[in-house]
Amino acid sequence: METTLGGSALEALKGGLKGDAYTPGDGGYDEARAAWNLNAHQHPALVVMAEGASDVLAAVRLARDEGLGVGVMATGHGVAAPCDGGVLINTSRMRGVRVDPDTSAARVGAGAKWADLVPEAATHGLAGLQGSTSHVGVVGYTMGGGFGWLGRKYGFAADSVKEADVVTAEGELVKANAHENADLFWGLKGGGGNFGIVTSLEFALYPVTHVFGGNLFYPVERAEEVLELYSRWAEDLPEEVTSAVAFLNVPPIPDVPEPLRGRSVITVRFCYTGEDLAEKGEELLGPWRGFGEPIMDTFGVMPYEAMDMISMDPVDPIGAYGHSEMLRELSRETRRTLVDLAGSGSDTPLLLLEMRQLGGALSRPPADLNPMGRSDAAYAMNGIGATFTPEMAQAVQAYLAHVAEAAKPHATGATYVNFVDLNGASPERVKAAYSADDWERLVELKGRRDPGNLFRYNRNIPPSSAEGADGAQSANPAT
Ligand SMILES: Cc1cc2nc3c(=O)[nH]c(=O)nc-3n(C[C@H](O)[C@H](O)[C@H](O)COP(=O)(O)OP(=O)(O)OC[C@H]3O[C@@H](n4cnc5c(N)ncnc54)[C@H](O)[C@@H]3O)c2cc1C
């Protein structure tokens, strides 16, 4: 049923906003609710294009008064539960970024992307812990943990957070750090945006200007041998190296280098950050130099600003579904399953099946909330399919279900908050991203800080008062 909003409350909101507000039928509504993931169709009762904390505050207060839920979107890369019938706060105009070289810290607005921060930080010889693409939002990524190519050395982005300004479910703007609202602060750093709308975030930066990184692309027919060598090679890598191995069905588009265009390949990729980049990087590649000619070798020293080149994620909006599992190891049986799923002759419709290496700082028991279920997984597997037609969407979803089933014997059963997406943000999957202790504490915190589940269009943690708050039976409140 479509919820409609109108009357004096809406007029008062619009009159007081710095930004704009749109209801269904308004020009601007469609653009304001559109997500990067074109499969995320959201039908909010109201979209507020916020231009500051006061706009966020006003939107949250209106939602409370009208008995509606609240969703927040910066880029729409991570819509897990569409904001249907609620108030959607679009933060994409709040992209301010400030870097303090004296404290090696950054403060960013709710809508800033990593791409907004990277050049500012680079000016001072510093870098934040971005993921595979700088087009993802800093705040949304960090709320779900956040790890990328510096992960094994510096850990999750959430662990580097120093402070946040947050609009709470009570409709107040508060500061959260280790001393003020410390409970909220703990829940923000991995709790997937369940406890409030962050209007600005401060976090540590690191002295990284260049890295050694790239890809070695091989024909998919060599997948078995590549996986075998990779699994041995990766075991001994130092923490300064974060690596991955990925099956790719490269689209036949002009943006892609000619040797890869339209081909199925398997790629070994890594990023090294440390001393003597060129020399040590070449040394790390040693075992691969005797493996045979790759289709393409893109390794070299690169500025941190060019790091998107390692993962080559799509930049423009696409329809996509994904599924992720945490793999215990790359044993012979696991490797065989992966080749069956994505190797030559598999007819996989997926764009990508990637195994990202964990370990190092990502696997040490953190002082804080862990967004990966504290599992003993060695790899985070992520399968992604692009969907340009309803038939493709069906085929991709069916294949992802097959991937989930086939991977089961090799997986820990845990999930990773940021990789729980539109394709399966069920209460069970969200719960599986946390240890039992963390989950209990999160549900209790949600019950105290957001008992009405105002912030429900997300990877949702039900409040302790909710029926089935153990996450086992409760229906996703957003659907
Ligand atoms: C192409 C691609 C590459 C990715 N690579 C990585 C990667 O390398 N590592 C990794 O860890 N993740 C990765 N992700 C996952 C991504 O980090 C999550 O989907 C993240 O939630 C996206 O945040 P966003 O703000 O860009 O997206 P949005 O869809 O705008 O937001 C997603 C969610 O973040 C929360 N959120 C956003 N803004 C706020 C706010 N102001 N206050 C509170 N909560 C908020 C909300 O719960 C919201 O529903 C990737 C995703 C894609 C699509």
Closest CA to 53 of 157, 191, 201, 205: 201
Q: Which atom of ligand 1 is nearest to the CA of 37?
A: 53
Question: Which of 380, 409, 427 corresponds to the end of one domain?
Answer: 427
Q: For residues 281 and 234, is the Cβ–Cβ distance under 8 A?
A: no
101 — phi, psi (to 5°)? -65, -25
**Is residue 474 one of the residues assigned to a domain?**
no
Looking at 57, 90, 123, the residue that finishes a domain is 90
Q: How is residue 273 written in tokens?
A: 């950050």
CA-CA distance, 268 to 122, in Å (whole number)? 27
Asked whether residue 216 falls in the same domain as residue 199, the answer is no
Nearest protein Cα to ligand 1, atom 53: 77
What is the Rg, in whole angstroms, of the alpha carbon atoms belonging to the chain?
22
Concatenated DSSP letters for 19-73? SEEE-TTSTTHHHHH--SBTT-----SEEEE--SHHHHHHHHHHHHHHT--EEEE
Binding site membership of 444 for ligand 1 (Cβ less than 6 Å): no
Q: How far is the CA of 388 from the centre of ligand 1 (A)?
A: 22
At 82, which CATH number?
3.30.43.10
Contact 347, 415 (CB under 8 A): no
Query: What is the Å distance from ligand 1's center to 418 Cα?
Result: 6
Both 273 and 146 in one domain: the answer is: no
Nearest atom, ligand 1, residue 313 CA: 1
Integer CA distances (angstroms), 371 to 5, 378, 435, in order: 36, 15, 9
Taking the C-alpha atoms of residue 125 and residue 13, their distance in angstroms, rounded to an integer, is 43
**Amino acid 478: pLDDT:** 41
Query: 141 C-alpha to center of ligand 1: Å?
Result: 4
CATH code assigned at 417: 3.40.462.20
**Is 74 part of any domain?**
yes
Task: Give 64 Cα–ligand 1 centroid separation in angstroms.
Answer: 24
Co-location of 36 and 107 in the same domain: no
Query: Which residues, listed in sequence order, are joined to residue 347 by a DSSP beta bridge?
Result: none
The finding on whether 60 has its CB within 6 A of some atom of ligand 1 is no
Total structural domains in the chain?
Answer: 3
DSSP conformation class of 366: P
Phi, psi (rounded to 5 degrees) for 17: -80, 145
Is residue 120 assigned to a domain? yes
* In a shared domain, residues 252 and 338: yes
Q: Are residues 224 and 271 in the same domain?
A: yes
Helix (H, G, I), strand (E, B) or coil at 428: helix
CA–chain centroid gap for 397, Å, is 19
First to last CA, the chain: 12
Q: What is the pLDDT along the chain (479 residues), one digit of tens a residue?
A: 456 777 888 999 999 999 999 999 999 999 999 999 999 999 999 999 999 999 999 999 999 999 999 999 999 999 999 999 999 999 999 999 999 999 999 999 999 999 999 999 999 999 999 999 999 999 999 999 999 999 999 999 999 999 999 999 999 999 999 999 999 999 999 999 999 999 999 999 999 999 999 999 999 999 999 999 999 999 999 999 999 999 999 999 888 899 999 999 999 999 999 999 999 999 999 999 999 999 999 999 999 999 999 999 999 999 999 999 999 999 999 999 999 999 999 999 999 999 999 999 998 876 678 888 877 899 999 999 999 999 999 999 999 999 999 999 999 999 999 999 888 889 999 999 999 999 999 999 999 999 999 999 999 999 987 655 554 334 344 43
CA distances to 147, 242, 315, 466 from 115, rounded to whole Å, are: 16, 21, 11, 39
Q: Which range marks the domain in which residue 186 is found?
A: 101-204
Q: Is residue 471 assigned to a domain?
A: no
Query: Residue type for 78, please?
Result: G
Reference 53, options 99, 80, 91, 14; nearest CA is 91
Please give the DSSP secondary-structure letter assigned to residue 465: T
Q: Are residues 246 and 364 in the same domain?
A: yes
Q: Do 377 and 269 reside in the same domain of the chain? A: yes
Six token digits for residue 266: 């398997």
Q: Looking at residue 132, which CATH number applies to its domain?
A: 3.30.465.10
**Inter-residue contact 370 to 190 (CB < 8 Å):** yes
Integer Cα distance of 374 and 417 in angstroms: 12
Interatomic CA distance for residues 45 and 87, integer angstroms: 6
Q: Could you tell me if residue 1 is inside a domain?
A: no
Contact, 459 vs 417, CB < 8 A? yes
241 and 155 together in one domain = no
Q: Tokens 């890809």 appear where?
A: 215
Closest ligand 1 atom number to CA of residue 137? 26
Q: Pick the last residue of a domain from 161, 180, 204.
A: 204
Nearest CA-CA partner of 472 in 429, 425, 421, 442: 429
Nearest Cα residue to atom 28 of ligand 1: 76
pLDDT of residue 2: 55
- Are residue 320 and residue 186 in the same domain, yes or no? no
